């Protein structure tokens, strides 16, 4: 069975991302063509990148990196849940991505974002980052506006139309993930 990691890319106290990621997981669990797991980068206590070797060498020296590597390796594809901070993704997510290399390669990723303009600019940056890591990013994405999908910019109240967008995201991601499986197994 195809296994997809839903990576929660914010560690900020009071973050909106936890509710968004839970919504993604709830939508995903309606599917029977893949299994999904929520992966919260906050659970890995990753300091600012502290490995002495480049990630592409796959020679990790820190226990936190080894734990993160083992988790990310488990998945065939990813849904990245990202906030938009200052026209980009969160520093914590970028840091977590940078810790690894081969674990991401030859897999597919989709994006669910949130922010003042739906997190679109964060996703644009993530597409460039993942291209360098040999990750195929799918076109379909779900974007939540802080103004229309959150009450008072903090209580998550998604418009029901996003459920259909999630179905398109899952459909594309699972098909691309399955197509790429022979390259990373």
Measured CA to CA, the distance from residue 39 to residue 79 in angstroms comes to 10
Which of 98, 107, 105, 7 shows the shortest CA–CA distance to 53? 98
Which pLDDT score, from 0 to 100, does residue 98 have? 98
Which pLDDT score, from 0 to 100, does residue 175 have? 98
User: Can you tell me the mean pLDDT for 33-58?
Assistant: 97
Measured CA to CA, the distance from residue 34 to residue 172 in angstroms comes to 12
Counting residues of the chain whose pLDDT is more than 70, the rounded percentage is 99
Which pLDDT score, from 0 to 100, does residue 29 have? 97
Q: Indicate the pLDDT class of residue 184, thresholds 50, 70 and 90.
A: confident
Q: Do 177 and 184 meet the contact criterion of CB atoms below 8 Å apart?
A: no
Which pLDDT score, from 0 to 100, does residue 170 have? 98
Which pLDDT score, from 0 to 100, does residue 41 have? 98
Q: Strand pairing partners for 135? A: 107
Question: Mind listing the pLDDT tens digit for each residue in 124-133?
Answer: 999 999 999 9
**Average of per-residue pLDDT values in the chain:** 97
Which pLDDT score, from 0 to 100, does residue 26 have? 98
Above 90 in pLDDT, residue 159?
A: yes
Q: What is the pTM of this model?
A: 0.97
Q: Indicate the pLDDT class of residue 12, thresholds 50, 70 and 90.
A: very high
Homologous superfamily (CATH) for 3-184: Flavodoxin domain (3.40.50.360)
Rounded to 10°, the helix 161-184/17-28 angle is: 80
Polymer length in residues for the chain: 185
- Dihedral sign for Cα atoms in the order 156, 164, 91, 98: positive
Which pLDDT score, from 0 to 100, does residue 173 have? 98
Question: Mind listing the pLDDT tens digit for each residue in 55-82?
Answer: 999 999 999 999 999 999 999 999 999 9
Which pLDDT score, from 0 to 100, does residue 185 have? 66
Measured CA to CA, the distance from residue 147 to residue 111 in angstroms comes to 19
Question: Mind listing the pLDDT tens digit for each residue in 20-32?
Answer: 999 999 999 999 9
Order of all β-strands in the sheet with 3-8: 35-40, 3-8, 77-83, 107-115, 135-145
Q: In sequence order, what are the residues at sequence separation of 6 or more whose Cβ sits closer than 8 angstroms to the Cβ of residue 24?
A: 6, 79, 81, 112, 142, 166
What are the DSSP calls for 20-38, one per residue?
Answer: HHHHHHHHHTT-SS-EEEE
The ranges assigned to domains in the chain are 3-184
How many helices (H) and strands (E) are present in the chain, helices listed first?
Answer: 5, 7
């Amino acid at each position: 069975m195809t296994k997809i990691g839903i990576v929660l890319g914010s560690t900020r106290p009071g973050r909106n991302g936890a509710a968004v990621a839970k919504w993604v997981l709830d939508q995903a669990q309606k599917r029977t063509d893949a299994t999904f797991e929520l992966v919260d980068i906050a659970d890995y206590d990753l300091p600012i990148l502290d490995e002495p070797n480049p990630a592409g060498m796959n020679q990790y020296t820190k226990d936190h990196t080894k734990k993160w590597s083992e988790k990310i390796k488990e998945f065939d594809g990813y849904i990245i849940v990202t906030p938009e901070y200052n026209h980009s993704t969160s520093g914590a997510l970028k840091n977590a991505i940078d810790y690894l290399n081969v674990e991401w390669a030859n897999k597919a990723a989709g994006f669910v974002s949130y922010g003042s303009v739906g997190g679109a600019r964060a996703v644009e940056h993530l597409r460039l980052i993942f291209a360098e890591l040999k990750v195929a990013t799918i076109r379909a994405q779900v974007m939540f506006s802080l103004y229309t999908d959150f009450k008072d910019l903090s209580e998550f109240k998604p418009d029901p139309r996003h459920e259909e967008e999630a179905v398109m995201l899952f459909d594309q991601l699972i098909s691309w993930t399955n197509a790429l499986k022979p390259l990373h197994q």
